[in-house]
Amino acid sequence: MSIHGKNFIGNDLSAQGDKSNKIYDINSNIALEGDFSHATSNEVSKALDLASSAFVVYKQKSQIQRAVFLETIAEEIMNLGDELILRVMSESNLPRPRLEGERGRTVGQLKMFANLLREGSWVEATIDTALPNRAPLPRNDLRKMLRPLGVVSVFEASNFPLAFSCAGGDTASALAAGCPVIVKAHSSHSGTSELVAGAIIKAVIKCDMPSGTFSMVHGSGRVVGQQIVMHDAVCAVGFTGSTYAGMELYKLANTRKHPIPVFAEMGSINPCLFLPSALNDTKKLAASYAFSITLGAGQFCTNPGLIIALKDEKLEIFKKDLAQEIEKVKPATMLSSSIAKAYKENKDKAIAQHGTTVIAQALEDGMISEGKAIVASVAGSEFIKNPTLQEEVFGPYSLLVECENKDELMQVITSLEGQLTATVMGEDYEMDEFSSYIYALENKAGRILFNSVPTGVEVCHSMQHGGPFPAATDARFTSVGTGAIKRFVRPVCFQDCPVSLLPLELRDENELKILRMVDDSYSNESL
């Protein structure tokens, strides 16, 4: 299969524009196959008009029909075989096992949402039956469920070319919700996006979904991305990436005549609180944190970028143990040359801050395209004063904040920005003593975890990947797990609705056997 570089305007390929971009191998600088045609304003409009028309049809598809569609997308992605893996390897510089795992996750997410639809209860069907004889006023028959919002715009992430990109969690959850999707491909892995988009379009056709249910366009965020976000047809935005780009989209969407929700999952430094007892086995702790800090060249949104501890003799031993572990880490190729460059700049800026000392670094410097692991330390009193120390350094970097005493520890915690995760390391016997610190930490994060590392995000019902600003633009939602579907739906109440117009989920006969709240009680029964 050759890479054609065209946009997917609904089911049609299109390359009307005169701008394009190629992708270059990070080390050899040789162009990979494909010249990616940036979508013109006309192409973007056409995709969104198609999406609007598709919504009218797609929103009426049953949950089962949407489940089959998602399962077919998963199949078609697997059908791409090794061609997909090879392309994404060459575009992302990530190793094969990681990418095979990520493909598994991507396909798994599609199937997870298909299962959610087959089960069906997620729509929160709620029925209050009529009370015609109630005094002083009768009650109408009221039935509510979650219904799709409309067309969703998805921006691909750089660090997950499969799982947070073309057919990633945002697309899967929006399609599951009943919303057509337009994807803006990431310029660093556009070939991967093309292959996956092709698989989705095959599924659109096989499942007889209307053209416009899915589109994918190439182009810059500033031109194509902005046009999409400002288009009347678009009802919501899903984004994973930098705080800067996420906030640009968020602010832009708020300048619309009709503002729309932008769910942006942005930066996080994922603070890890080491209670004194966590340092009982400094060697083990150092090994597991060195591993997590440098996993995937530190290019995970849950990378432990901040460690907070009370000053202690054992902390000095931990620092030495950590230094030994970090020294051994081989620099790894980063996702792109721009990310490698940004890592060096941001890391240099971070360690140049007042009072900051490097306490551990990899022995090998590595090539220009590689990220060299570094851990620095700073006093709690400096950290509280200097917000720059809370800026994410995307890559294998972490900062240890050493607190003089418990008061300073509480100040460090309360000064934290919103985070995706917060971690507590320590023995059970110390948890009660530090409970107020742990509760304060909970206020800052979407997920609080104990005696583990924050990297590794399980895709399941109970996952929360999102958190108080600036980790995400709206802490009330998640971008990972089945809860992600809630971003793209809204409750609609049907009052005294004739049965022929009532969605299946709300009819007296509960033929889907979903869990519903009927007259104050949960039930899977028919009325």
Task: Write out the catalytic residue numbers.
Answer: 265, 301
Q: Is 460 exposed, middle or buried (0-12, 13-18, 19+ CB in 10 A)?
A: exposed
User: Which CB atom, from 153 or from 377, has the smaller least distance to its own copies?
Assistant: 153
Is position 193 an interface residue for its own copies (rule: CB under 8 A)?
Answer: no
CB of 494 to its own copies, least distance (A): 6
User: Which CB atom, from 357 or from 462, has the smaller least distance to its own copies?
Assistant: 462
User: Which CB atom, from 111 or from 344, has the smaller least distance to its own copies?
Assistant: 111
Is position 445 an interface residue for its own copies (rule: CB under 8 A)?
Answer: yes
Q: Can you name the residues that pair with 146 across neighbouring β-strands?
A: 491
Handedness of CA 319, 378, 448, 394 (dihedral sign): negative
How far is CA 510 from each of CA 150, 479, 518, rounded to the nearest angstrom? 26, 30, 11
Q: Is 99 exposed, middle or buried (0-12, 13-18, 19+ CB in 10 A)?
A: buried
CB of 158 to its own copies, least distance (A): 24
Binding characters for its own copies, 77-116, by CB under 8 A (x = yes): ------------------------x---------------
CA dist., res. 26 & res. 95, Å (int)? 14
CA dist., res. 174 & res. 274, Å (int)? 38
Q: How many residues bind its own copies (CB under 8 A)?
A: 79
Q: Which of 79, 406, 439, 509 binds its own copies (CB under 8 A)?
A: 439
How far is CA 409 from each of CA 71, 100, 387, 414, 440, rounded to the nearest angstrom? 49, 41, 16, 9, 11
H helices of 80-219, in order, are 81-92, 96-119, 169-177, 190-206
Is position 513 an interface residue for its own copies (rule: CB under 8 A)?
Answer: no
Count CB neighbours of 357 within 10 A.
Answer: 10
User: Which CB atom, from 25 or from 433, has the smaller least distance to its own copies?
Assistant: 433
Quote the DSSP letter at residue 20.
Answer: E
Is position 24 an interface residue for its own copies (rule: CB under 8 A)?
Answer: no
Residue matched to tokens 């046009």: 227
Residue matched to tokens 């893996």: 85
Is position 497 an interface residue for its own copies (rule: CB under 8 A)?
Answer: yes
Is position 461 an interface residue for its own copies (rule: CB under 8 A)?
Answer: yes
Is position 458 an interface residue for its own copies (rule: CB under 8 A)?
Answer: yes
3-state secondary structure 246-311: HHHHHHHHHHCCCCCCEEEECCCCCEEEECHHHHHHHHHHHHHHHHHHHHHHHCCCCCCCEEEEEC
Q: Which of 447, 484, 507, 512 binds its own copies (CB under 8 A)?
A: 447
Q: Which of 7, 153, 165, 478 binds its own copies (CB under 8 A)?
A: 478
User: Which CB atom, from 313 or from 520, has the smaller least distance to its own copies?
Assistant: 520
User: Which CB atom, from 142 or from 223, has the smaller least distance to its own copies?
Assistant: 142
CB of 477 to its own copies, least distance (A): 8
Query: What residues numbered 25-64 form the site for its own copies, per CB under 8 A?
Result: 56, 59-60
CA dist., res. 123 & res. 504, Å (int)? 11
Is position 153 an interface residue for its own copies (rule: CB under 8 A)?
Answer: no
How far is CA 320 from each of CA 193, 195, 290, 316, rounded to the nearest angstrom? 44, 47, 12, 7
Is position 299 an interface residue for its own copies (rule: CB under 8 A)?
Answer: no
Is position 280 an interface residue for its own copies (rule: CB under 8 A)?
Answer: no
3-state secondary structure 187-245: CCCHHHHHHHHHHHHHHHHHCCCCCCCEEEEECCHHHHHHHHHHCCCEEEEEEECCHHH
Is position 291 an interface residue for its own copies (rule: CB under 8 A)?
Answer: no
Binding characters for its own copies, 232-251, by CB under 8 A (x = yes): ------------------xx
Is position 133 an interface residue for its own copies (rule: CB under 8 A)?
Answer: no
**DSSP codes, 461-478:** TT-----TTTTBS-TT--
Is position 410 an interface residue for its own copies (rule: CB under 8 A)?
Answer: no
Query: What residues numbered 326-385 form the site for its own copies, per CB under 8 A?
Result: none
Helix (H, G, I), strand (E, B) or coil at 36: strand
User: Which CB atom, from 360 or from 438, has the smaller least distance to its own copies?
Assistant: 438
Distance from chain centroid for Cα 98? 17
Is position 418 an interface residue for its own copies (rule: CB under 8 A)?
Answer: yes
Q: Which of 5, 246, 304, 470 binds its own copies (CB under 8 A)?
A: 470
Is position 527 an interface residue for its own copies (rule: CB under 8 A)?
Answer: no
Binding segment for its own copies among 194-202, 252-260, 353-361, 401-409 (CB under 8 A)? 252-260
Q: Which of 435, 508, 509, 525 binds its own copies (CB under 8 A)?
A: 435
Count Cα neighbours of 41 within 13 Å in the Cβ-side half-sphere.
6
Binding segment for its own copies among 126-134, 171-179, 208-216, 363-371 (CB under 8 A)? 126-134
User: Which CB atom, from 254 or from 357, has the smaller least distance to its own copies?
Assistant: 254
DSSP H or E run through 148: strand 142-148
Q: Which of 31, 82, 96, 139 binds its own copies (CB under 8 A)?
A: 139
Is position 456 an interface residue for its own copies (rule: CB under 8 A)?
Answer: yes
User: Which CB atom, from 260 or from 326, has the smaller least distance to its own copies?
Assistant: 260
